[in-house]
Structure 1
């Protein structure tokens, strides 16, 4: 069951459009599964005080796509002060209310946390932050959201409220900004990267962008320079492990965005496209894809200064840039893992096996990757204590002997035991 309600609405001083509300009823198993004791209790509190409560944003998109959302956000006509009074009266605990100034109150019921945010309108924006005021108009809250597919609400009775054809876009696998792409972007320049991320999640074709959207992105790309590296990094990492990541990264370069988001201006796009094809079906880490863009270690350092990636991500990028040509399968025995396992055995890094797995994804070595995932690092059976018991007392000699024995052990494919190896010392 669905319906569309139309009424005229003036936009700014220059245009006139129709306000369009599309509604339908959703009764899927994924939607019904959300109704835990906690959500039922939350709904009862709002209903008792006659305040509307709806599911908002990404959770609605996921439910309409047949997915059970991992996180569910709620929107309401109640103000933060009204919510606090409601929850206090009902004896409901509130936690982590750092978002209260933005209208978000977190309630805890039946060991579940529920984030509920008052409907808002943006009073002033600077491309990074927004000053908001509260409203009871669902349409106005929908207007301030980034993409049509993220601007829908879902009542707890299953009624969908869609003001900007988000459901239609979702059905057609289209990613569009709410209203003017330029205006939405200038409100928060990070929306450029969110556009690309959601394009990878929703669109079927790799190149089905609206021309005016790409024009708005190109003309406003420099605004990303003012966005914090941490926020950029979150979006970028999600995007590069989604669909069409090779196309989207190439497009970002053609739109001249790389210089503003920590990627090398002359990044190796062709290498990235090749690596993406190698790795896409093997759950690569985001840095495995991004590393292909870097030609030199210095570019990884610059990326880290801008994006402030984790130490693990930085060391993986440096590892891949250094060893992607140097550490490869043997031409004499291309089916052997030995060059890679020897490297892991000799490495002093705790996560060397994980890094080598990413290297094999990078190189497209599917067979060797599968073998390495099943391989467990063997323990070298000889210690310095064993050599001392045999009369080797010089520290320098012990170190040299252990290395010789380790080389023999590696040649045996790690099969020799302690007694076999110590026999070489006796001889």
Structure 2
């Protein structure tokens, strides 16, 4: 059941000037994913808002997910009640409130039946600086929808299953299109991170690469420099999500083409062709974001520069260094049955932390699917001989113990780690 409601222009007197014109698309959603949201906690909080005659709707990404047939991991709510009104009715109902740091932006988090419910008052942006917004509360659902980034994220869903869509978000979702609400340039200038959100959602929603609207790409090109003012941590969150989505190679190419790369820490003249190759040959193996990004770097100092801008984790940084260093040095053996040996020997000899996981990412980078499968099944064997074992057979010199252990380790490796302690000790010259 669906329809489009056309509301008449709003004006004053005979010389009425059109102030507002709305085309609201509605439909009824009744799916098992939607119905599964109605826990004891949600039913309880819905009753509270209904009792106090305030509207409560599901907002943003959760609506998009439900319309796509998915049960959302996180559900955000929007309401016509102000934060003070929410606090008053929650207190009256004995409802605990937590994490109210977002109150100045209109968000109150209520906890009922061991669940958290994040509810935000409808807002309009009074002033924006490309990073933050000063907001004013409203009871107008369309005004709140207007301030959101993409049409597919601007819809609301009533708790009775009624969809409220002011900007063709449902149609865009059905057609797998990613568009900004209204003017792309204006939306971007309100928060420059929306450039990367556009790329991220394109990779999530669009079925084909390259189906962008020309005015959207021009708005991104014209405003790319605004990303210089956005914190590296926020950029890295969006960039990582984009890299694990669809069309990552195409989108990275576009990031360079539109002049975005220089403002988000990516290397000037990055090796995009190498990244495209790595992306193509690692499909289906879930490479980590840094596995793909490392293809851009000609030298390891590119990883340092990326870290300087984006504040990546120590684990991510070390993986980047590892891949840049070994991607062309550590290669499979020519003899196919022995192909994994260079990698297993490297792991046995290495002092790298999490070395087996890093080698798995290296195999993804190199497109070695069969070896990756074997590596995941392989368990690092424990060298069975210790210095204590050598002392027991009469070798007491520390220097000699070190030499003998190294020789035994080489023998053990050649046996493909099969020889046990007794077999190895029998190789020791005790004369």
> TM-score when scaled to structure 2?
0.96
State how 1:89-128 maps to structure 2 within 5 Å: 89-128=92-131
Over 3 Å counting, the alpha-carbon distance change for 1:9 and 1:347 in structure 2 is farther
Matches of 2:252 and 2:147, distance apart in 1: 27
1:285 equivalent in structure 2: 288
**Deviation sequence 1:306-345 (CA, Å, 0-9, x none):** 0000000000011000000000101234652111111111
2:366 equivalent in structure 1: 363
Task: Give the Å deviation of 1:426.
Answer: 3.9
Matches of 1:399 and 1:121, distance apart in 2: 71
Task: Give the Å deviation of 1:87.
Answer: 1.0
**Deviation sequence 1:162-187 (CA, Å, 0-9, x none):** 00000000000000000000000000
Task: Give the Å deviation of 1:8.
Answer: 5.6
Task: Give the Å deviation of 1:395.
Answer: 1.6
2:307 to 297, 304, 325: 304
2:88 to 78, 82, 85: 85
1:209 equivalent in structure 2: 212
Secondary structure of residue in 2 paired with 1:288: helix
- How many positions carry a matched residue from both structures? 424
Matched, 1:419 2:422: yes
1:183 equivalent in structure 2: 186
Task: Give the Å deviation of 1:265.
Answer: 1.4
Higher mean displacement: 331-340 or 298-307: 331-340
1:142 equivalent in structure 2: 145
1:394 to 394, 397, 400: 397
Secondary structure of residue in 2 paired with 1:113: strand
Matches of 2:397 and 2:231, distance apart in 1: 55
1:253 equivalent in structure 2: 256
Over 3 Å counting, the alpha-carbon distance change for 1:265 and 1:159 in structure 2 is same
2:13 equivalent in structure 1: none
Higher mean displacement: 391-400 or 281-290: 391-400
**Deviation sequence 1:276-331 (CA, Å, 0-9, x none):** 01112101111111111111101110000000000000000110000000001012
Over 3 Å counting, the alpha-carbon distance change for 1:9 and 1:331 in structure 2 is farther
1:407 equivalent in structure 2: 410
Secondary structure of residue in 1 paired with 2:33: helix
CA contact (8 A) 1:382 1:402 kept: yes
Matches of 1:399 and 1:118, distance apart in 2: 69
CA contact (8 A) 1:241 1:284 kept: yes
Task: Give the Å deviation of 1:397.
Answer: 1.7
CA contact (8 A) 1:392 1:398 kept: yes
Matched, 1:48 2:51: yes
1:133 to 136, 139, 146: 136
Task: Give the Å deviation of 1:199.
Answer: 0.2
2:69 to 63, 66, 70: 66
